[in-house]
Amino acid sequence: MRRTIQINNLTCEYFYADSQQVAYILTPMSLNDKDVEALAAKYNINLIVISGMDWNDDMTPWSAPGITRGEKDFGNNAEAFLATLTNKIIPEAEATFALNPTARILAGISLSGMFALWAWFKSDVFSTIISISGSLWYPDFADWFCKQPIINSHGKIYLSLGDKEAKTKSAPFNSVNDATLQIVDYLKQNHIDVHFEYSQGNHFSPVIPRIDRAFSAVL
């Protein structure tokens, strides 16, 4: 069963399952409904797919220059988006599903993969984090992450990268592999249940199979 509602400027698609498990997926692109329904059924998990955010602003915790000349700079609106997510979207979604989950998953792709890892430190709402091709090249992010004290030691963290992602002529993206491994090492040093793997392809390799692999690892 599927239901779509608008909250602020965001489109929230709810895919029902007969369970108390719930995952929130922040995505820059639309996902095929049948594919998402299949995932909800396969893992018996309620899925809330959220899109329509101002991608370069809402997913970034501090400002940074655009990647190419003339490209819009990255904003600094992650705090406000996290407040919308935790204070509006989650209460509405869980009231709709009649859910009272003991734990929540937050999954992100690209910039929202970075946002999900950032949010893990900023809120205790999410215990398990999925970062698929997370933009961990983002200026100063890996260094910032590895200086944060680990408080939330429960749940799991899953990260994946396409095996061709770091092989690009765009200098900022070249660091994504090293930054991701830096974060993985920090999590392991702090005894967090972390799983990292490479997928074939580049940044936007087929997303649904990668979400499937992520759920297989954390559920």
Ordered by where they begin, the domains of the chain are 2-218 (3.40.50.1820)
What's the farthest any 2 CA atoms get from each other in the chain?
49
pLDDT (tens digit, 9 = 90+) per residue, 42-68?
999 999 999 999 999 999 999 998 887
Q: Mean per-residue pLDDT for 160-168?
A: 80
DSSP one-letter code for 185: H
Q: Mean per-residue pLDDT for 154-171?
A: 82
pLDDT (tens digit, 9 = 90+) per residue, 192-216?
999 999 988 777 678 999 999 999 9
Q: What CA–CA distance (Å, rounded) separates 173 from 202?
A: 11
Q: What CA–CA distance (Å, rounded) separates 163 from 199?
A: 6
Q: What CA–CA distance (Å, rounded) separates 44 from 146?
A: 34
117 residue type, one letter: L
Which of 168, 161, 160, 144 is closest to 217 using CA atoms? 160
Q: What CA–CA distance (Å, rounded) separates 155 from 129?
A: 8
Among 28-32, 144-148, 170-174, 199-203, the least confident range: 170-174
DSSP SS3 for 196: strand
pLDDT (tens digit, 9 = 90+) per residue, 116-151?
999 999 999 999 999 999 999 999 999 999 999 988
Asked if 159 and 180 count as a contact pair (C-beta separation under 8 A), the reply is: yes
Q: What CA–CA distance (Å, rounded) separates 138 from 142?
A: 8
93 Cβ contact list (under 8 Å, min separation 6) = 12, 14, 22, 24, 48, 99
pLDDT band of residue 170 (cuts 50, 70, 90) is low
